[in-house]
A and B are shown apart, each in its own frame.
Chain A
Amino acid sequence: MFELIKNVNIDFLGKRKLASMISGAVILAGLVSIVLHGGPLYSIDFEGGTEIQVLFTESTDVEAVRSALSDIGYGDAAIRSFGNEDEFLIHVKTSTKSEEQVNTIREALASIHGGSYEIRRLETVGPKIGKELKGDMISAVLIAMAGIVIYISIRFQFMYAIGALVALTHDVLITLGLFSLLNMEISLSVLAAFLFIVGYSLNDTIVVFDRVRENAKEKRHDSFMSVLNISLNQTLNRTVITSLTTLTVVLILLVFGGEVIKPFAFALTIGLIVGTYSSIFVASPVVLAWDENQKKKKNT
């Protein structure tokens, strides 16, 4: 038998203090960054605005594009090269009606090399629709979380639901924080990735809980803490292997999937790593803490 991890007996729960300190520090750093940035950095999907990915057929630099846009009053446009050489991503805030905006930008671009450019992608979202999308997606994340708590409460017990919920919140907060620290935008597809993370992280957590449930029946004389530890160790191989295969494909997506999908693939990568970590070091310790707390209440 070819095994990655043999006969392990790691005291995961003994390290719960260290783990909570690490998690706390990363979450705090992320939150500080979000506060300093004045909230998460939203893409045009939620904020409204126009994004144009343009490819010039002649050699062009960022400065040429910037000066052409400054001439029409878009001096504050964010311009960066994107993928290929001579390919740029232009980001402007919505001020007037988006139609007029797009037309003036087209004219400005045409002035650079006499029109030798191709608009590869153009996305413009009005502030109104942006707001609505934001509302929709936030309710999606909340509804998914509520559904999950209900599901686990029915299939397991309420305390497991709390453990899973804390782990999920942990994952989403860390990913949000990292996006803020790295100055990356939250777009529709990134939020979709968050929802996937919610599902995946839970998948991992439930596999552990399922084992805990089974072991709790069979090993009645062991302490709850050791039942948790045994279960974590028994499922460790599976946790690592599934995370590895999934991480492999996500990394391939990040590297080969192209520029457009990069933020999405990045969110998935971070979420996968954090999700795997949280199912071991967050969900079970929370269940343990809840259990100990309940017992204390009973005794007093």
Chain B
Amino acid sequence: MSGPLRMRVFLVVLLVGAAAYMLRDTISYYTMDETQKQTLIESGEMDDIRKNIIHKGLDLQGGMHVVLEVDLEELIKTRVEDGDAEIDALISNSLEEAQNNETEFFPTFAKNVEATNIRLARYFPIYEKGPNSDVLDALEADAKDAVDRAEEIIRNRVDQFGVSEPTIQRKGAWRIVVELAGITNQAQARELIQATALLEFVLVQEDPQLLDEVIRNIDKAWAADMGEETPEDSTEVVADTSVDESAPSLADILSGEEGDSLSITGTGDVGRPFSSLINVGSNTIWVPEENVRSVKRKLTKPTIAAAVSSDSKLAWGVSPRDITGDGRMHRALYLMKGTAELTGDVVTDARESLGGFSGAEFVVHLSMNDEGSREWTKITAGNVGKRIAIVMDGNVHMAGVIRDKIADGRTQIEGMNDLQDAKKLAVVLRAGALPAPMLIEEERTIGASLGADSVAAGTQATVFGFILVVIFMAIYYKGAGLIADVALILNLGFTLAVLSTLNATLTLPGIAGLILTVGMAVDANVLIFERIREELRNAKTVKKSIDDGFNRALTTIVDANLTTILAAGVLWQFGSGTVKGFATTLFWGILCSMVTAIFITRTIFMVMTERKTMTKLSI
């Protein structure tokens, strides 16, 4: 074999190997069963795998795609005080005008206000007094803040749904796109996006003995629960511990359970399934990130939840922290008082800023109304040195120590790492106080059953189409057709490999794109083969015909395919949702087909004609 040819063959092998490697996670992910998946999820390995696979789009696995937009009408009208027909009409007309002309609301509103001699400050006393332009700016900032709040509320809640990889994205200034894959309960999901949040200030239980007692009680209830578990359940629990090396005792207990069930219900010295999964420090339970899922699931069981006495409750912190300093992340689980001291409706404002002892720390300034301030004074005075948690919809966003009695309702919250953290906490605090009216502007919900039907139909169509094209090529071009078939199979493999590496999402139109690619991928080979046939007819030698056929077809293939790629690119840029999936598969499919048809088939031909001089070509 000549040097350059050896290089070509080496490259082909390299390409095929790389594609196989890129496909490994996708193949293993879609061939493993549920228990294997669960094991990987709980060990945290799933996150790495899911970075390298083709995802099923919402239309294939079922799910919900929602576009929310801030309800400006609702928002502005609730801000108006002492309204009259004039301001109402001005707002309604501007909304309508903006919608009809597809323009932004605020410039339209400003223009319409200009045309009248209304003084906006009269209707919006909640903002600082000033000329109309100032009030308009304040109103717009207020509306933008509502979108921030709604986004924070949704992020805070979405965790509770156990949806894998929810996406929450901002789209422009006024919209939020929420995608929940594989949800089964639509009503529940709708509730999620209805944006009113419950914000509470709850005291943390600082008594170490009480915390100890609760942990012991949970241990007991948990151990008892395991005794009643179905075998299927208990395998999952074993999986938990196999990951967490620091907690081998759970597996021991399980194996001991069969022999000596008495010890489980005993004093708790042996049966410590809960405490073996956690750390305790500064009166807080710290759960290593990898155990969070299993602990969460257990704690929601009624028998185990009952282990916490009714005047207390457990609540999770939202952000993981590296408390041990060794890179292992932990989530806080706070034992708090059963009832809130104060709810968020007393908050009038919360803003991030610089402050603190040095004046350079990131802080949040919180202000409350008169009623709230009075309560706050009492609470803070009676609990100096204790922690009070800021809880939104059951999740603890911050648990700060009360340093001193706060008399005027103006509180400075310290301890944020950066401005981003401070900003987020301020949004959370405002979210509990101010409504963030959002409207569903677009919703696409696909039931899981329809998704499964689509996968089945799409797979069937792809396989059928593929087989028919393969057979056709083999009959029409005989030996050369078989080479084209090899290229076709490789093309499909390469395309899927690229999609896996890009972590792309396959939608139903995406499958259609794949099918089309199969139909069109042969085009390059057809162009080459027809050209080779022509050269053969002109009585050229086999080798010369092949060379000329490839060379002359090359420009045509590039020119022709580039235009389809161009169309796919434009579609990708402008298309949304499922249509984008079509553009993606088409784009990569055609690109890969050029590599397989031009480079790989040519290499196969070269290897064939290398040794012996062929006098006849099967084409």
Contact = CB atoms under 8 A, between A and B. Distances in A.
Interface in B468-483: 468-469, 472-473, 475-478
A249 B440 contact: no
Interface in B520-541: 520, 522-523, 526-527, 530, 533-534
23 contacts: A2-B475, A2-B478, A99-B440, A123-B444, A124-B444, A125-B441, A133-B576, A140-B574, A140-B575, A148-B563, A188-B577, A189-B582, A196-B516, A196-B586, A199-B564, A206-B560, A241-B530, A242-B526, A245-B520, A245-B523, A246-B523, A252-B461, A258-B457
A204 B560 CA distance: 7
Interface residues of A, number: 77
Interface stretch (B28-36, B353-361, B446-454, B489-497): B446-454
A196 to B, nearest CB: 7
B566 A148 contact: yes
Given A119-B445, A124-B443, A260-B450, A136 B576 contact: yes
B332 interface: no
A249 B465 contact: yes
Interface of B is mostly: helix
A179 to B, nearest CB: 17
A129 B441 CA distance: 7
Contacts of B67: 129
Interface in A185-214: 188-189, 191-192, 195-196, 198-200, 202-204, 206-207, 210-211, 214
B583 interface: yes
Interface stretch (A17-25, A27-35, A71-79, A261-269): A261-269
Interface string B46-69: 000000000000010000000101
A238 interface: yes
Contact of A258 (B454, B526, B527, B586): B454
Contact of B443 (A118, A123, A199, A261): A123
Contacts of A132: 102
Interface residues of B, number: 75
Contacts, number: 231
Given A192-B571, A253-B461, A155 B559 contact: yes
B182 interface: no
A210 B556 contact: yes
Contacts of B383: none
A202 B566 CA distance: 11
Interface string B411-431: 000000000000000000000
A98 interface: yes
B161 interface: no
Interface of A is mostly: helix
B585 to A, nearest CB: 11
A147 interface: yes
B549 interface: no
Contacts of A127: 99
Given A2-B478, A250-B519, A264-B512, A195 B457 contact: no
Contacts of B565: 199
